[in-house]
Chain A
């Protein structure tokens, strides 16, 4: 559980192997607002990917890139607003700001990964923050997805401007989300836990005309 890599920084595995109930950020929303089942005419389908490992990496691009390649065999995105997804599609790293990247991995991998990255980074100036309990990933698919996004985010989601492999932080209604395009068919939204219900209700409301459905 507790593991001090060096005595300077205290890492902490916030997950438990014990069989205890665990609730995703949308648990309350499902109970409160329901989750309309997707149908044949659903132009948009929403799916939460709960309990993934989310790590924020801070530091210089070169050292972080080297560390990530050695530990995860993945590079950092080569340019701003870039998103790199590994071959399995289960691990991704995206540019957030000039010294900030978001690494998303299958749930449970993040603590060991953090420790290995810290080891690889050694004395470099960097920081890693585990934020997995604080945000969740929503997948959005369907023919009307981009129209639904146009109702919600101010960023231009036209494929000419938002190709596969791009990721941005943008205004979503009256909050903000991270918006990513890992593939032609799929959009991803990374949403902060406390705003997740607002985003969920907004998407259901704005998606009504496209018969939005929620996969659970």
Chain B
């Protein structure tokens, strides 16, 4: 198959091999070294997409990251779909399949183009705001259709077969961009011995030198590039990252680099040595110094129908010819404001095709490149510009006329030149995106007609990125900046050794952004500023007329610079145009903020390996394997996996959760059950002031707790609201073991350290987490004592080992601390052993437990049993607005303690003393079959007009097999004084439940069972 635009020679291609690829279902051929864009151009594909808003045919205009039109969807299978890939950045590989993201039924014959998308001309700037503002509830519906017709690409619906990861890197000097400035900077820093990372987004390092006409040391520029890259690759203090885009510049020289490791090889990563390779990698780089060697983007001119396929950037024309051996047309008209763009005409002519004319906006063009063009006999039209492109799906001609730049008007008769390609150049814009991510606003420089970055500490720009353009100066600038960066990180500068480059004489450019037309902007042909978002010069004029004078408002009103484009080609032109309409200067108008990411990053790279089973840590206890083997269903508590309940297969049928929980509850109340309580936080507290410290952080008293005894403690924040609770045991006069809730463990330890370190550093006390050291198993129920007696040497006699005592001894031959505390209201022992022995002790308990029908139970049964006893769970029955008084726990508050404990002062506020605060009560549904919904709102008068006054809500609610009834804990305004009253719970489905306010203690109110 022929590639009509492929030159017979030239380009950095491997012509010995052919690659086959498809675009929109049609098969084409290219070579290794091509990008998808260069291969499409070689094959004469003009239309690559339809535009976002007006559905106009669009072609390739650029050769790099700034390409606005050739944004494609890749992937031959559903799982391999990748949206938003710029064809100019995608290396060609054999079998590549790409589609336009836009255009229906296809880009060649677009129905929407005929009828107009969503009404075509009826989609003026500000359309979204005006049309879809109301009703707000419909936005989700509108958005779906807008996205579909806008063609923004789509994500795969199947699991991605590839793997991704993150790399944390640290270096002295990070150099971003490996063009002349970046290579030079990396050499200067690398030779000094600094740790250097050099990242470049392209397939090959070298940047503009890969298509340069200039000689370095009297040799083609790419030879110097090859030598420089080879030297850098040989330095073990330098890391080269090709195909790696610096996408975000974050605080403190933290830069995220997106490395595409296999995307040039195939749509999924090939295996290497039988193992999966990482497809793309996000490098999280913390750099001492950053050198931005990001170069400059050429600025296109804004003229009529400048979006018709065949309109290209002048520099892109040179790149396609010199780097890819592709000449994207036959007859060229060049419209320029500067000398540098003449390269396009020279390269075009040298590839044997016709240059019709160069329209140069300057009255008297002069300079070396201009003279070379003259010498080739190319017609130069001075003081002129292309006013308008002709053609629909491809350029067929260019209307050229003299223009009066000062007066912004056409100054002569237009002549129509027959051509198929128009290249334009309005100068160069330094790529300041990364510098802009830091929040620093750039500065306009009139001498280079561009914004240069303002920089925060530790960042420097070099070369084109700060408006230095001649190659010799760029190399020198890169060297200087790279050397300074190395010195700033503690290395000695090395003497410069740079290639000789002949200085080139260039004429001065003129400022030209929007080209005047005979008709006013609003009536003339569309002059596109932002091709990706379909923003025209007229749209900017409308925005300014409607009063949007800030450039940020203009941006949002028109969508200029939105999305994946981030204003790479259009923003400076847009600002210049807004400035003209507003009668201001460009620096007065200023810039919008460029945001991360510079180019799209796949979700795979963002996520890395933090997905699927590694999405979040799962913490396991020492008995986890047993729980798995015994069919536990698990509940996430913080990051812990805790057994929720243990369903059994009974008579061939698996129990429901309710059945399993009822069985487990009955086992504890009637026989004996066992719970894995290892997840409770455990803090070892030592020091002569340990007891004093406890008295200050708990609401209740600790002065008299004797060694061997355990006490329940309640902890408040300084606002007087309950934050956590648990038991603390006195191990020795200066030694305590505090337990916390599972979820509160880390927060409580931090809380203790915070108060110790900031408020009471004079107290001699240390806290150490021993949560993981001990495994804890709660054995509870009337048969608990008999069971334990079989495997322990501890005297379990009820007088010797009382409720709220702890003892130490052996349990199944393992040293154990046993705490006689109860969260179920039954006789209970909490056995603590070193975690490495835990499974043995657990299994020994079961070996002896069969005759007592020892039953494992999970968190759900634990919740039911404790709620039957009115025991709260911090974070479930409390929510940061509940005081100990609200919980009815006056007995746990020591108002007369000598030192003011945390929360005491807050509990003296009038607000915390109100009698109509929400207070903890029990609720008994009138219908025992009803289990109230947790979170359900409580009202006193069900007939009250809506909105009803909310009087409280349900915090915990379960079915109790002991009561054979639903029951609940709730907080109700003034509830402690409303015992016996009826409250109502209106539900979303229209039902209204009735319940009686009762004591929160439903079972064994006198607490006799735990004392047996």
- The chain A residues found within 8 Å of chain B, CB to CB, are 1-2, 4, 7-10, 12-16, 18, 20-25, 27-28, 31, 41, 50-51, 56, 58-59, 99, 125-135, 150-151, 153-156, 158, 160-161, 173-175, 192-195, 197-198, 201-202, 205-206, 208-209, 211
Measured in the bound complex, the distance between the Cα atoms of B770 and A174 in whole Å is 21
Which 3 A-B residue pairings sit nearest by Cβ, starting from the closest? A134-B772, A134-B773, A127-B766
**CB <8 Å contact, B815 and A156:** no
Residues of B within 8 A of A127 (CB): 684, 686-687, 766, 768
**CB <8 Å contact, A151 and B170:** no
Residues of A within 8 A of B764 (CB): 125
Contact of B169 among A2, A150, A205 (CB under 8 A): A150
**CB <8 Å contact, B195 and A131:** no
**CB <8 Å contact, A18 and B734:** no
CB-CB under 8 A for A132 and B168, given A9-B731, A156-B286, A195-B617: no
**CB <8 Å contact, B622 and A193:** yes
**CB <8 Å contact, A197 and B620:** yes
**CB <8 Å contact, A15 and B732:** no
CB-CB under 8 A for A209 and B276, given A2-B808, A20-B840, A130-B773: yes
Residues of B within 8 A of A195 (CB): 617, 619
Measured in the bound complex, the distance between the Cα atoms of B604 and A7 in whole Å is 59
Residues of B within 8 A of A56 (CB): 768
20 pairs, A vs B, C-beta closer than 8 Å: A9-B735, A10-B735, A12-B808, A13-B815, A14-B815, A14-B834, A21-B840, A28-B625, A59-B766, A99-B766, A133-B773, A133-B835, A134-B774, A134-B835, A135-B773, A150-B168, A154-B284, A197-B618, A205-B614, A209-B272
**CB <8 Å contact, A18 and B772:** no
Measured in the bound complex, the distance between the Cα atoms of B609 and A10 in whole Å is 45
Residues of A within 8 A of B617 (CB): 173-175, 195, 198
Measured in the bound complex, the distance between the Cα atoms of B841 and A23 in whole Å is 12
Residues of A within 8 A of B624 (CB): 28
Least CB separation from A152: chain B residue? B168
Q: A1-B815, A4-B732, A198-B619 are in contact. List 19 more A-B contacts (CB 8 A).
A: A8-B735, A15-B815, A20-B840, A22-B837, A22-B840, A58-B768, A127-B766, A131-B773, A133-B836, A134-B771, A151-B166, A151-B168, A153-B168, A155-B168, A156-B168, A158-B170, A197-B620, A201-B613, A206-B609
Interface string of B771-815 (1 = CB under 8 A from A): 111110000000000000000000000000000000010101111
**CB <8 Å contact, A20 and B837:** yes
Question: B617: shortest Cβ distance to chain A, in Å?
Answer: 4
Question: B735: shortest Cβ distance to chain A, in Å?
Answer: 4
**CB <8 Å contact, B773 and A125:** no
Least CB separation from B838: chain A residue? A23
**CB <8 Å contact, B836 and A135:** no
Contact of B834 among A2, A132, A158, A206 (CB under 8 A): A132
Contact of B170 among A21, A125, A161, A206 (CB under 8 A): A161
Measured in the bound complex, the distance between the Cα atoms of B813 and A31 in whole Å is 26
CB-CB under 8 A for A156 and B814, given A8-B733, A28-B620, A201-B613: no
Question: B843: shortest Cβ distance to chain A, in Å?
Answer: 8
Residues of B within 8 A of A131 (CB): 768-770, 772-773
Which of A18, A151, A156, A194: most chain B CB closer than 10 A?
A194
Residues of A within 8 A of B275 (CB): 208-209, 211
Q: Is B446 an interface residue (CB 8 A)?
A: no
Size class of the contact patch on chain B? 35 or more
Q: Is B707 an interface residue (CB 8 A)?
A: yes
Residues of A within 8 A of B167 (CB): 150-151
Residues of B within 8 A of A58 (CB): 686, 766, 768
Residues of B within 8 A of A1 (CB): 810, 815
Measured in the bound complex, the distance between the Cα atoms of B808 and A12 in whole Å is 9
Q: Is B621 an interface residue (CB 8 A)?
A: yes
Residues of B within 8 A of A16 (CB): 810, 813-815, 837
Measured in the bound complex, the distance between the Cα atoms of B772 and A25 in whole Å is 10
Question: B426: shortest Cβ distance to chain A, in Å?
Answer: 44
Measured in the bound complex, the distance between the Cα atoms of B767 and A127 in whole Å is 8
Measured in the bound complex, the distance between the Cα atoms of B620 and A175 in whole Å is 14
Q: Is B871 an interface residue (CB 8 A)?
A: no
CB-CB under 8 A for A12 and B815, given A7-B733, A23-B622, A41-B273: yes
Residues of B within 8 A of A99 (CB): 766
**CB <8 Å contact, A202 and B815:** no
**CB <8 Å contact, B836 and A51:** yes
Question: A102: shortest Cβ distance to chain B, in Å?
Answer: 11
Question: A180: shortest Cβ distance to chain B, in Å?
Answer: 18
Which of A133, A135, A198: most chain B CB closer than 10 A?
A133
**CB <8 Å contact, B770 and A173:** no
**CB <8 Å contact, A12 and B772:** no
Measured in the bound complex, the distance between the Cα atoms of B459 and A67 in whole Å is 49
Residues of A within 8 A of B808 (CB): 2, 12
Residues of A within 8 A of B273 (CB): 41, 211
Measured in the bound complex, the distance between the Cα atoms of B736 and A127 in whole Å is 12
Measured in the bound complex, the distance between the Cα atoms of B283 and A150 in whole Å is 10
